[in-house]
Structure 1
């Protein structure tokens, strides 16, 4: 299993957290922000990003605004109130998962 498989299950949580912290963003901007924040350790490809964005939009967690950018249109995504509540839930679940993984994989405590 490579690192990208480990992150794959967290993609929607990553997207929601990015939008919560940064406000309105477009897809490429999200991919670059993730690369920057992880010192190029994590890259999100468009084949994974856009289906996740569309799913979050369909669930009412994101809104989309189409804005002219030069000679093309750019889709900006923003988090909704429902999305903000879902972000809190997903982050709590992820933090719980990480804590359980630390317990399972961390050093064993020897009781004397």
Structure 2
């Protein structure tokens, strides 16, 4: 299994976490920040990112602001109040998942 497949289930959490750290971001900025943070280990494609952003927007977790930048329209995404709460929930779920996986793959982390 490639790393991309492992990361795929965490894409929404990654997006929410980044938007929680920054007031607002546009799509390309999100992809570049992920590459920078992971030292190119994870590269999010537009084909994965934008459907997730649109889904999060439809669920009321994101607001979109369109601004003109260098004579181009750019969509900025930011968390709604509901999105901020969902970020807390998703991060807790991910922490629990990591803890469970750590226990499965490394005996020193098992609670017995």
Q: TM-score range by the shorter chain?
A: over 0.9
How does 1:44-55 map onto structure 2 within 5 Å?
Answer: 44-55=44-55
Which position in structure 2 is the counterpart of 1:95?
95
- SS where residue 68 of structure 2 aligns? strand
Unaligned segments of structure 2, at least 5 residues = none
1:33-79 Cα deviation digits (max 9, x unpaired): 00000001000000000000000000000000000112220000000
What is the distance in 2 between the residues matched to 1:27 and 1:63? 13
- SS where residue 103 of structure 1 aligns? helix
For the pair shown, the structure with the greater C-alpha radius of gyration is 1
User: What is the CA distance between 1:108 and its match in structure 2?
Assistant: 5.6
Q: Compute the TM-score of the two structures, normalised by the length of structure 2.
A: 0.94
What is the distance in 2 between the residues matched to 1:23 and 1:5? 29
**Runs of at least 4 residues off by over 6 Å:** none
Give aligned pairs, total.
Answer: 109
Unaligned segments of structure 1, at least 5 residues = none
RMSD: 1.1
What is the distance in 2 between the residues matched to 1:70 and 1:21? 25
Which position in structure 2 is the counterpart of 1:23?
23
Alignment partner of 1:3 is 2:3: yes
